[in-house]
Structure 1
Amino acid sequence: MIYFTGDTHFGDPRVLRLDKRPFANIVEHDEVLIRNWNQTVGTDDEVWHLGDFISASGGGCPELLARLNGRKHLIVGNNDPTTTTNAPGWESVQHYAELRHDGHHLILCHYAFRTWNQMSKKSINLHGHSHGKLKPLPRQYDVGVDGQELRPVTLEVLLKKKRVVAGGGDMHE
């Protein structure tokens, strides 16, 4: 199974205030996100984290990666220091990726795009950065934890959510 997530901001107490995440402190926040991740993702699953993983002051990135299930890929975000990008435990680290999954061409970046590769051929843009506050374009999804019940999500779940929000119609066409 392949999962997508982003904007976990482990170790960064600013997210409690800025994003109104419902935790008393950053330790509680981090433990809930770790628990949610591991309840969702199996050890053999793949996870694409679309940026802003852990702050420089958040502690040891390798230790955190070791606590999280799955094979992890990082799409670098604006709050990912070299202690994150250079940490052992990532399968890959890049600023942008394209992949085929479940018959879809996916465009992965921390940032949402106005246009993206093969957009006219129904490719899908997955992003983070906006913390669920940006109105998406058709075939564009914010995979950050703020809009995904504080856990990684599959492409299938994202596509189903969009159809439900659209009143049962398919907004992808």
Structure 2
Amino acid sequence: MATWFTADTHFGHGSLRALLRRPFLTTAAMDAALAEAWNSAVSPDDEIWHLGDFAVGHKDPAALLAALNGTKHLVAGNNDPPEIRALPGWASVRDLVELDLDGQRLVLCHYPLRSWNGQGRGALNLHGHSHGRLKPLTRQFDVGVDPRGYRPVRITDLRPPRTAA
């Protein structure tokens, strides 16, 4: 089982597609490409943390979420209204999460944080919201689809693996 991270998919959000100049001819093409990238990376047994802004204006977000692989957690963003938060496909819905993954402390939030718990002790802040347009702090990573090739990522995709001393 692998653990994946993504954010800012904005399924169904045509005006954002145009605003960010995402390389898709239509919103339907964007949605299909994002779903295909998700399912080609994430297996049904994997865990995936979506760090906010899942779908905006999508016709059937419940069916979309059900069609995406993995055990799905939502760390809600500013474009995740109660209807999105209440979708039955989420294993959990929270605003901020702290977890340990393979010995690495992570602080997950939709928003890039200025400071976070464990920052001075090696904890990483994974976030979305900025669509790759914000210079990160040390140990801070935007896992949104825009700066990450429109696909989910693993911790190993963000930084080299830790080596024993």
**TM superposition score category, shorter chain reference:** over 0.9
| 1:135 matched to 2:135 | yes
The residue aligned with 1:52 is: 53
Q: Is the 8 A contact 1:106 1:123 kept in 2?
A: yes
Query: Which one-letter code corresponds to 2:119 in the other structure?
Result: M
Matched residue SS, 2:84: helix
How far apart are residue 80 of structure 1 and its match? 0.7
Q: Which amino acid is the alignment partner of residue 158 of structure 2? A: L
Corresponding residue for 2:151?
A: 151
Instruction: State the partner residue of 2:39.
Output: 38
Unmatched 5+ stretches in structure 2: none
1:66-114 deviations in whole A, cap 9, x for unaligned?
A: 1100000000000011111011010000000000002110000000011
- What residue is the counterpart of 1:167 in the other structure? none
Counterpart mapping for 1:64-103 below 5 A: 64-103=64-103
For each residue in 1:34-85, what CA deviation from the matched residue of structure 2 results, as whole angstroms up to 9, or x when unmatched? Answer: 0000000000000000000001x21222101111000000000000111110
Output the amino acid matched with 2:68: L
Cα distance, 1:19 vs. partner? 1.1
* 2:17 counterpart of 1:16: yes
- Aligned to 1:52, the other structure's residue is in SS state coil
Matched residue type, 2:74: L
- 3-state DSSP class of the match of 1:47? strand
Give the 3-state SS of the residue equivalent to 1:145 in structure 2. Answer: coil
- Whether the 8 Å CA contact 1:61–1:83 is kept in 2: the answer is no
Residue aligned with 1:146, SS: coil
- Tell which deviates more after alignment, 12-21 or 73-82: 12-21
How far 1:125 sits from its partner (Å)?
0.2
Between 17-26 and 133-142, report the one with greater CA deviation. 17-26
Mark the runs of 5 or more structure 1 residues left unpaired by the alignment: 164-169
In the alignment, the residues of structure 2 paired with residue 22 and residue 76 of structure 1 have an alpha-carbon distance, to the nearest angstrom, of: 25
Matched with 1:28 is 29
Name the CA distance, whole Å, in 2 between partners of 1:25 and 1:158.
29
With structure 2 as the length reference, what TM-score do the two structures score? 0.95
What pairs with 1:90-129 in structure 2 (closer than 5 Å)?
90-129=90-129
d(CA) in 1 for partners of 2:14, 2:61: 16
TM-score, reference length from structure 1: 0.90
Structure 1 outlier segments of 4+, above 3 Å: none
Deviations 1:9-45 (A, max 9, x none): 0000022222110111100000000000000000000
Q: Who is 2:5 aligned against?
A: 4
Secondary structure of residue in 2 paired with 1:29: helix
